[in-house]
Structure 1
Amino acid sequence: MPDLGPPPERLTVHVGQVRRLIGEQFPRWAGLPVRPVARVGWDNFTFHLGDTMVVRLPSAAEYALAVGKEQRWLPVLAPQLPLPVPVPLAHGRPGADYPFPWSVNPWLPGEPASTGRVSDPVPFALDLAGFVAALQKAGTEGGPRPGKHNWFRGATLRTYDAQARRALAALDGHLDVGPADGIWRTALAAPWDGVDVWFHGDLAPGNLLLGDDGKLAAVIDFGTCGIGDPSCDMAIAWTLLTADGRQAFRERLSVDEATWARGRGWALWKTLVTCARTVGRTDEEAANARRVLGEIFSG
């Protein structure tokens, strides 16, 4: 198993740096205002550039590994997909005391998905499944294999076995870990047929944008994309979709039992880690993790 090591050491980026980077490397945009986006992510710092673009700067060396991949593959994938994705407009280089490559992307409007914002859960699930199906049909020749660039999405779930086991141990006494242990063991034992397909790798609510009508409008953040086992993209069935939506999603994609079990495992791994980190807390993150765990236990 790969050594995942400690969490990356993140740096900080401020508006002045972004202005200098733009002025030095893309002077045609130097007069545009720069301001932070309202919702700050973890892997990247994102700033509005004018009204129609964003500057996206990795927060650590490990996250910077995805920049070249997105620059190379999003222009190839985008024409094959039924929803807008952030095809890069420019490829930045280190400068202005910022050490990593970075991107200028189009600003895709929309609000992050949530159960309360989705207008109709079953059509939403079907639209999302249609996007995943189209992505899986894209040609894989030369595509990026699982690795540090995407935290081994598309590889075996055993990569995260030690993390899951530590979380289960930490949660023992706070919840009934028996069902979680059984689901995890089933996921680890579920075989993959070895056929590479494209996956997004992080179909999280924050990367699914809704239009004003509450329908799926765009998919963003392809930093963990690659080719390999697509079961990691099934995790969204438990982290966001309703029970009816989950069934519609699975049927639209014709997901077999083994892939579904591995996808449930991907959802469980991350949820267990969050639950262990938020033991005793009552904030939104802790409540959402407990909600997702209930969805995972429900099937």
Structure 2
Amino acid sequence: MKPGFGELVTASGLDAVIEPLDEASVLGALGELHGLSGRLERIASEKDETFVLHAADARYLVKVSGEAREDLALQTAVLRHLERAAPELPVPAVKSGVDGADLHEVASGRSLRVLSFLPGEPLAERAAAPEPFGRWHGQLTRALAGFRGGNRTLLWDLRYLSALDTANGLAQEVLAEFASRVRPGELETQLVHNDMSPHNILVGASGELAGILDFGDVLSTAVVFDLAIALSNLLDADAPDLWAAPLGWLRGYLQVRPIVEEELALLPLLAVARLVQRALISSWRARRDPARAEYVRSHASRDWVTARAGYAGLGAAAERVLEVRR
């Protein structure tokens, strides 16, 4: 039986209410557990309390998380795996504590992790051709194929799209078409990043890949879902050609990580489904957190516009996707 919406929310940590830790407590824990000191800079994050530690020798990314310990252990294990299996990929390195452990409990149900800090500018803020970054995404997916594990339940997994209840007409159409055309159990499955976006990719001064960030949603699911997420984040309703950037990314991806034609044909629908998923979850979060409602709804409204434009041209987009493969 598939989990319901409430179960998915809890499993994803979206209903947790956690009081922020004061910076003095975090610095104290860093000194005791990692032998680190310096100046903490708090940065915005969806779930974790995230800081940059400006130490004497380097900068570090510090995360205090309320997620289940097994989920944090999975994220750490994935980064360790990539360090061994694909050292050419710039992902954060895990810094163990003085006792050799990677995770340390610092408050009730909350764990501290320290990662290397990767400098660079988000791809979202740079004008760059998408194809090379699609190749890197394909390379990352190939490297993750060797990881065993990653079975977890997340609201952000497209397998659970039907758990989202809505009265929105467009969303109802997309959910119905998804239900009729997509059979998640028949799709190629492995561990994937599950949140590939221009905000989670860093670019260096010369336009080279400088970092792949945020493995917080990593899990085992359909490979084509992961690719669709990346494409959905490149759709731009204001662009002269809605699908030009996503198809460029796809072209690069397929050079290193093939996808069978039957699954490729689903990509436009899956990309639109991801936009609808994000808009519906954002709307739920806006109702739950009135203080951030205006900010959240502004992002959701953009997703609705883009989803509507994408859904209107699904057939033509599917033909263009298949042309990329040929």
Give the aligned partner of residue 174 of structure 1. Answer: none
CA–CA separation in structure 2 for the residues paired with 1:225 and 1:92:
18
Give the aligned partner of residue 135 of structure 1. Answer: 140
Give the aligned partner of residue 214 of structure 2. Answer: 221
The one-character-per-residue Cα deviations of 1:82-115 (angstroms, maximum 9, x if unpaired) are 54111211213114x454332110011133443x
Deviation at 1:214, TM superposition (A): 6.2
Question: 1:268 and 1:146, CA in 2 relative to 1: closer, same or farther beyond 3 A?
Answer: farther
**Partner residue of 2:8 out of 4, 9, 21:** 4
Q: Give the superposed CA RMSD.
A: 3.0
Whether contact under 8 Å (1:118, 1:215) holds in the other structure is no
Deviation at 1:128, TM superposition (A): 2.9
Whether contact under 8 Å (2:131, 2:251) holds in the other structure is no
**Partner residue of 1:202 out of 180, 195, 201:** 195
Secondary structure (helix, strand or coil) at the match of 2:28 reads: helix
Q: Which protein has greater RCO, CA pairs closer than 8 Å, 6+ apart?
A: 1
Deviation at 1:264, TM superposition (A): 2.8
Give the aligned partner of residue 126 of structure 2. Answer: 118
Whether contact under 8 Å (2:144, 2:192) holds in the other structure is no
CA–CA separation in structure 2 for the residues paired with 1:138 and 1:83:
9
Whether contact under 8 Å (2:234, 2:245) holds in the other structure is no
Give the aligned partner of residue 287 of structure 1. Answer: 298
Question: 1:142 and 1:132, CA in 2 relative to 1: closer, same or farther beyond 3 A?
Answer: closer
Give the aligned partner of residue 233 of structure 2. Answer: 239
Q: What one-letter code is carried by the residue in structure 2 that aligns with 1:286?
A: R
CA–CA separation in structure 1 for the residues paired with 2:174 and 2:269:
8
Question: 1:289 and 1:81, CA in 2 relative to 1: closer, same or farther beyond 3 A?
Answer: farther
Give the aligned partner of residue 161 of structure 1. Answer: 162
CA–CA separation in structure 2 for the residues paired with 1:55 and 1:119:
29
Whether contact under 8 Å (1:210, 1:216) holds in the other structure is yes
CA–CA separation in structure 1 for the residues paired with 2:108 and 2:253:
42
Question: 1:269 and 1:285, CA in 2 relative to 1: closer, same or farther beyond 3 A?
Answer: same
CA–CA separation in structure 2 for the residues paired with 1:101 and 1:275:
29
CA–CA separation in structure 1 for the residues paired with 2:296 and 2:148:
34
Deviation at 1:247, TM superposition (A): 1.8
TM-score where L is the length of structure 2: 0.72
Secondary structure (helix, strand or coil) at the match of 1:94 reads: strand
Q: Relative to structure 2, which stretch is displaced further, 216-225 or 248-257?
A: 248-257
CA–CA separation in structure 1 for the residues paired with 2:300 and 2:170:
16
Deviation at 1:294, TM superposition (A): 2.0
Residue 23 (structure 1) aligned with residue 25 (structure 2): no
Query: Percentage identity across aligned positions?
Result: 17
Whether contact under 8 Å (2:235, 2:245) holds in the other structure is yes
Q: What one-letter code is carried by the residue in structure 2 that aligns with 1:267?
A: L
CA–CA separation in structure 2 for the residues paired with 1:222 and 1:17:
25
**Partner residue of 1:179 out of 170, 194, 209:** 170
Whether contact under 8 Å (2:122, 2:203) holds in the other structure is yes
CA–CA separation in structure 2 for the residues paired with 1:161 and 1:215:
39
Question: 1:219 and 1:127, CA in 2 relative to 1: closer, same or farther beyond 3 A?
Answer: same
Give the aligned partner of residue 88 of structure 1. Answer: 94
Deviation at 1:269, TM superposition (A): 0.7
Residue 106 (structure 1) aligned with residue 113 (structure 2): no
Residue 48 (structure 1) aligned with residue 60 (structure 2): no
Residue 296 (structure 1) aligned with residue 307 (structure 2): yes
Question: 1:236 and 1:137, CA in 2 relative to 1: closer, same or farther beyond 3 A?
Answer: closer
Deviation at 1:276, TM superposition (A): 5.9
Q: What one-letter code is carried by the residue in structure 2 that aligns with 1:69?
A: L
Question: 1:272 and 1:139, CA in 2 relative to 1: closer, same or farther beyond 3 A?
Answer: closer
The one-character-per-residue Cα deviations of 1:1-37 (angstroms, maximum 9, x if unpaired) are 122255123242221121221222222x2xx213133
Deviation at 1:143, TM superposition (A): 2.3
